[in-house]
Structure 1
């Protein structure tokens, strides 16, 4: 049981300490939802979920609010129960009796068994609740069930390029000098290679060790602890295959393991890959089709949650560029439900299909199109897909080429990566 004095100490410690300097994140969460639901912030470990809570708390403090923030990984709160949380709330009400609106932030809430009932009671009392937690233990499908439809979930990823520039104190002007543009491209190249994990940006000398730790410790701990994975060797081989395979086939990987004398079922491999997707380590992008069955049966393309995880494994710049574009599209689409890749009837591939009411845009990613044959190949794929999918919004994202051109009767826009990332 957590003592009363401990709770007072925990609450006071947070209220009296200053919040760290923060990089303003682009994720927009409404502090005053017009509906009675908890706000859930999910995402991979170390992407900045806790600091995002601090960002929201700063906004409230400017309005002279005193939100309750509790990190349930605090060693003083080890073994906390729902009863302890009830006591915490009563003490908070005593300490701030004049508060008219109550805001409660629960960090790593999954450490308290049966926390869902406590949160639902808070909502019944019109308390505004914000929750973060380890993505391996706080999954959207579980929240929907546990909260009985009384939550809104948001996904946070490592820094976008805009956030990356903000962390460096760089503001991009509409009209840049040659020197400013060169500096921007240098920054983009670093971001392309090393990604957006906040710790890697703050401590570039240690970024390779940090990224390896994310793979070697965080990922394995999440998967092993949650799912009881016993075959660590297969898990390591699977992660290595996903990192090194633009497209992934369970059947092909199963045969590879079989040839090595490794015994494991296909169902287990499907479970392992789903685990890695659940913890936001990897994303699987399906091929577009008008048939749901065909979509599910296609071989998915593989993208990782951060380019740095690819970089430390020696992946080419071409794939790094495509992975970066995928992550930005994921942020904008907020999932992969409206995002696909496409293969034409003659086997040509288009990197991304964005859907809404029908196909809204086709995107091809090409690092360098100075070679005529490369350019022609990419444009032929795009135009063929445009004809088959009846789409005229065609975009090619390049490293630094910008133009509008006509190809086989279709207008195609070429946009440099930096401009597209900055939403210009």
Structure 2
């Protein structure tokens, strides 16, 4: 299943008159890498020569021993010496000076099309401010919408006779109209409960082990962001305090947040 973000990003990457690099930004596990794989698959089906396609994951430990330019230069000199290339760069925030090198490639390689992903949004936004103006576009990849969740799951109970309503119009419906709408949506209730439980993360759509799903979400999504991504971006020295701040915000998500109050609570 190709998501809405896939079509938006691929259209921009392949645009005939507007030249832009694309950066997909979003949390871990939302499917950014899968979108890259789907684009590569589409290019191969469109008869693009495999040597014109490069995929690099900067999350791989071996690539931490090489600079951004060394990797791209090796590809250019030993695999693809032609002018045209499709470059896919996964977790680009781990590459040093990535924004400067993208600027160089944009200015010197007019026939290259580059798309990258990144899980650390602040780093991507900062890089865009410095070098990316007019050169690349950051597209946010959210978790699955409920429609996409049902699409992947292949839900057959989806109603086909729903009224064509804008969300803002729902508040104007009378009680009878709301009851009718709820009746039409009733078959989806059991799927919606599961959708809320998995948080819209694609890989858990078919899982029935909710306890394991919750544990993986906590370990892979929350813990890695708090213990690796944020500290590496913002030079956090005390991880214990950062974790306490996170927990405080979770338990007080609907409250007005005051820095002095947080200091007293976690001090």
Instruction: Give TM class, smaller chain.
Output: 0.7 to 0.9
Say which of 248, 254, 258 aligns to 2:260.
254
Return the structure number with greater strand share.
1
Say which of 92, 99, 110 aligns to 2:79.
92
2:165 aligns with none
1:234 aligns with 241
Say what the alpha-carbon RMSD is for the aligned residues: 2.8
Please tell me whether residue 154 in structure 1 is matched to residue 108 in structure 2: no
User: Unaligned regions of 5+ residues in structure 1, if any?
Assistant: 1-22, 263-424
Q: Is the 8 A contact 1:41 1:153 kept in 2?
A: yes
Please tell me whether residue 83 in structure 1 is matched to residue 89 in structure 2: no
Cα separation, partners in 2 of 1:173 and 1:255, compared to 1, 3 Å? closer
Please tell me whether residue 201 in structure 1 is matched to residue 205 in structure 2: yes
State the Cα deviation string for residues 80-100 of structure 1 (Å, max 9, x = none).
Answer: 211332121223324xx5xx7
Structure 2-normalised TM-score?
A: 0.75
Say which of 217, 225, 228 aligns to 2:224.
217
Per the TM alignment, residue 183 of structure 1 is displaced from its structure 2 partner at its CA by: 4.1
State the Cα deviation string for residues 96-138 of structure 1 (Å, max 9, x = none).
Answer: x5xx742111112233322333323332322111011231573
User: Unaligned regions of 5+ residues in structure 2, if any?
Assistant: 163-182
Per the TM alignment, residue 188 of structure 1 is displaced from its structure 2 partner at its CA by: 1.1
Say which of 125, 130, 135 aligns to 2:109.
125
- Which stretch has the larger CA shift, 210-219 or 43-52? 210-219
Separation in structure 2 between the aligned mates of residue 89 and residue 101 of structure 1, nearest angstrom: 10
Separation in structure 2 between the aligned mates of residue 32 and residue 41 of structure 1, nearest angstrom: 15
Q: For 2:79, what is the secondary structure of its paired residue?
A: helix
2:130 aligns with 145
Return the structure number with greater helix share.
2
2:168 aligns with none
Q: For 1:64, what is the secondary structure of its paired residue?
A: coil
Q: Please tell me whether Structure 1 or Structure 2 has the larger radius of gyration of its CA atoms.
A: 1
Q: For 1:138, what is the secondary structure of its paired residue?
A: helix
Separation in structure 2 between the aligned mates of residue 238 and residue 76 of structure 1, nearest angstrom: 34
Structure number with the bigger relative contact order (C-alpha 8 A, sep ≥ 6) is: 2
User: What are the within-5 Å matches in structure 2 for residues 410-421 of structure 1?
Assistant: none
Please tell me whether residue 26 in structure 1 is matched to residue 11 in structure 2: no
